[in-house]
Chains A and B, each alone.
Chain A
Amino acid sequence: MLSLSNVNKSFGKLAVLKDVSLTFEAGKSYALIGPNGSGKTTLIKSVLGMVLPNTGVISVNGKDIKGDDQYRKWIGYMPQIGRYPDNLTIGQLIDMMKNIRAEVTDVDEELIDAFKLYKLYGKPMRTLSGGTRQKVSAALAFLFKAPILILDEPTAGLDPISSELLKEKILNEKRKGKLVIITSHILSDLDELATDLVYLFEGQVQYSNLVEVLKQETGESRLSKAIATMIKQKELLHSIAP
């Protein structure tokens, strides 16, 4: 559904993505993890076309995204920090997004209802708290029933109830056969949500496999522990054979 092959990207001298090749399949949810500066955000932005890779091909549904902008109608994106025109109200923002994607008539307003955003329709964006913005971002990401969902830190800053609602929604969508890519530092969330794991380190894919496989390999039952063990193993290997 979404694949990257030999993608390289550097900002100046700094190589951020090194020969990244990945395949993401529909019906699965991927946890994209790695320390700060490992290239997660750059990878996501490359997929969204915000960052243009130096070399390599990114394709969605088998089509190279280079020079294309229509492929993004397949992607629902929830940014880490959602900032919107200050003076638009929530209602206007949602109307605007619908307006821009006027071709989609069958919209998914489940999250708008779940978060009770319709009560805040008249509120300008500048008056909203960080959490409410998150909710708006989440609602917008799911609004057009896009088959690929890219969620950057989706639960960060959400209250526990909303967080649960969102996770529920993500799982539902995955079950419907969508591709979900999530980055998060909250590993316990990922434990519930992710079927696959991609670990990025210094711009390289260090690990990419089923979460279940990782747990088996490391002998841990919790994802957080499993990842920690995996990282230690990697570091050990690295120190032996650089």
Chain B
Amino acid sequence: MTKIIRYVFYDLLRTRFVTAYTLFLWLITFALFQLDNDGGKVAVSLLNIVLMVVPMVSVVFTTIHFFNSYEFIELMLAQPLARRSIFLSEYLAVASSLCLAFLVGVGLPALVFSLGMVGMTLILTGVLLTCVFTSLAFLASVVTQDKARAIGIALLFWFFFSLIFDGLLLWVVYTFSDYPLEKVTLALIALNPVDLARIVLLLQMDISALMGYTGAFYQDFFGSSMGMIFSIAVLLLWAILPLAAALTRFLKKDL
């Protein structure tokens, strides 16, 4: 399995896309730090990158890569290798190269310009979101034979978690605004990896003071080590569950 990972990984690292993505992240992060001396504002801009750009690039790139390596997967399948290890190797290679791009592009500048705890959280959530959306994209790739449709489904995942889910959340808040909603919304947030990452990040920044009672409640929860473990665990689940579903599908799939 490590053998396959190594080769897919080399292959990915040599594609211009991963390099371009790394450079893009690096330039943006660097420019942000150059333009603004206020670490807090840079962190807010980086937050938008982590929440919007990283998931989108992850789903699109992963889906395209999956279909581009379809024949390679076939080649591997003709070898005495288990489907499970071929699939997981693909996942690990893609996820780790995207994570590496993120770490070099955003993580390094953030460390150099010492963003402290906020920077650490940014890096952690960025990496976790990359894994989550790579995993969702793999799921999208195995449920259909058609590349265009798979990209469509993958983008739909992204769109759903970035926008539609929040719309539903707003509707819930609006409809039940007479009730204490903190615990309910906390549970709902756990159903969306992007929201969860966003809240965790916001609470690390001092703008959380503007979040009033709701913010204080979340601060209480996420500020504790239990809350941190909870968020990381939920994000990991968000990476593992779709991947497991995709794997199950892949094991029974005709290629």
Contact = CB atoms under 8 A, between A and B. Distances in A.
Q: Do A and B share a direct contact in the complex (Cβ within 8 angstroms)?
A: yes
Secondary structure call for the B interface: helix
A79 B74 contact: yes
Interface string B1-21: 001100110110011000000
B97 to A, nearest CB: 12
Interface stretch (A45-53, A106-114, A228-236): A45-53
Interface in A35-55: 45, 48-52
A87 B75 contact: no
Interface size classification for chain A: 20 to 34
A222 B78 CA distance: 34
Q: How large is the interface on B (under 10, 10 to 19, 20 to 34, 35 or more residues)?
A: 20 to 34
Interface string B62-85: 000000111110111111111100
Nearest to A81: B71
Nearest to A88: B11
A240 to B, nearest CB: 37
Interface string A161-181: 000000000000000000000
A77 interface: yes
Given A69-B80, A72-B78, A100-B3, 17 more contacts: A45-B254, A51-B255, A52-B254, A69-B83, A71-B80, A72-B80, A73-B80, A77-B78, A79-B75, A82-B75, A84-B71, A85-B8, A85-B69, A85-B72, A88-B7, A88-B11, A140-B75
Interface of B: 3-4, 7-8, 10-11, 14-15, 68-72, 74-83, 252, 254-255
Interface of A: 11, 45, 48-52, 69-73, 75, 77, 79, 81-88, 92, 96-97, 99-101, 140
